[in-house]
Amino acid sequence: MEPDARRGHVLLTSQDSEIGDRPTRRKILQYGASAFFGANLALSPPRSPQAAASVRGLHTLTVGQAKVTIISDGKFNFPQAFVLPDRKPAEIDALFSKVGSEKPSFDAEVNVVLIRMADRLVLVDTGGGTEFLPTLGRFPDLLQSAGIASEDITDVVFTHAHPDHFWGVIDPFDGMSRFPNARLHMTAGERDYWLKPGLERSVPPDLAGVTLGTQRRLSTLKDQVEELPLGQEIVPGLLSVATPGHTPGHISLHLTSQGENLFLGGDVLIHPIVSFAEPAWRWGADVDWPDAARSRARILDMLASDQILLLGYHLPWPGLGRVERHDSAYRWIPV
């Protein structure tokens, strides 16, 4: 199948995403800080968003009247034993070999999304910041290089509060929200899960530290976080879709404008092979594995049936593709 979204490419003019040698906030943090401080988804027939070329960490496309910019926060690697704890190495090798991959790979991009709709500038997740993993934290500088000030953001929507989606909301210089004029949106189920007293003692020991880190950041922002209703529009044309399991209050988003559609999956579909070819396999980062598998099955069926373009938070850059049925499951076709 030749993806429709390959047509209509336009040239994106942008500053280089590495931002030359300017003294950015990220570089100060990396190299200088230690010196100072020691729903209803029935749709009309699909139309394809118009895509633009990627420019080293920035990728834009239009969905009807909405302009979508994908911004790289970096990438990292999932340990195989962590993400597929129930599978023997030979079984994993066989799956990857079946699709033509020489060996299993669990690299994960971190694809932050900015949506401009009328007078709203909506950010979906905020990356991992500089305190989670050293390979993350590019997003703030790339946002700046795209000509967007943090103060311009009107809404920040969190699919969930895992560190690679949430920690970047905090400005490490003052410990407060990086987006002072934005409304922060999170489901009540997600907020309440992370603020549950003693949560760090109920998770696996290797996750206790990041759990405490998320709790601390969410406690700082809790008076600014607005409850996000499920199955309703957050802003006109942007619908919240309940996809629980990866975390209790995990959501995805469905963007619709002038008959064009884009599904922002968050972490409902994480890996370009496993999530599609074996959606019933347990993924180690899922809090509620059976619920996560049900969410994957439902969303895969919808995406394949309606041929809606998917934007995956961890799928290979820039995270865009379509889902089609294949054998007894599915496959992801990047565009």
Q: Name all domains of the chain by residue range, CATH numbers in brackets.
A: 4-17+41-188+226-334 (3.60.15.10)
Question: What are the tens digits of pLDDT across the range 281-326?
Answer: 999 999 999 999 999 999 999 999 999 999 999 999 999 999 999 9
- CA-CA distances (angstroms) from residue 241 to 2, 69, 155, 268, 299? 28, 21, 17, 11, 10
Question: What are the tens digits of pLDDT across the range 195-217?
Answer: 999 999 999 898 999 999 999 99
Strand (E) positions, the chain?
50-51, 58-63, 66-77, 107-117, 120-124, 155-157, 170-171, 176-177, 183-186, 225-227, 233-235, 238-242, 251-257, 260-264, 309-311, 320-326, 329-334
Residues 6+ apart with CB under 8 A from 166: 125, 126, 158, 160, 214, 217, 218
Residues 6+ apart with CB under 8 A from 217: 166, 167, 169, 170
- d(CA 69, CA 17) in angstroms, rounded, equals 13
- Confirm if 319 and 124 have CB atoms less than 8 A apart: no
| Assessment of whether the complete model's pTM goes beyond 0.75 | yes
* pLDDT value at residue 102: 81
Sheet with strand 309-311: strands edge to edge: 233-235, 238-242, 251-257, 260-264, 309-311, 320-326, 329-334
* pLDDT value at residue 49: 64
Give me the residues of the chain with pLDDT under 70, please. Answer: 1-55
DSSP 8-state class, residue 126: -
Long-range contacts of 18-27 (CB under 8 A, 24+ apart): 18/56, 18/57, 19/141, 19/142, 19/144, 19/145, 24/141, 24/144, 25/140, 25/141, 25/173, 26/130, 26/137, 26/138, 26/140, 26/141
* pLDDT value at residue 29: 37
Cis peptide before 248 (omega within 30 of 0): no
* pLDDT value at residue 34: 27
- CA-CA distances (angstroms) from residue 308 to 116, 259, 316? 20, 11, 18
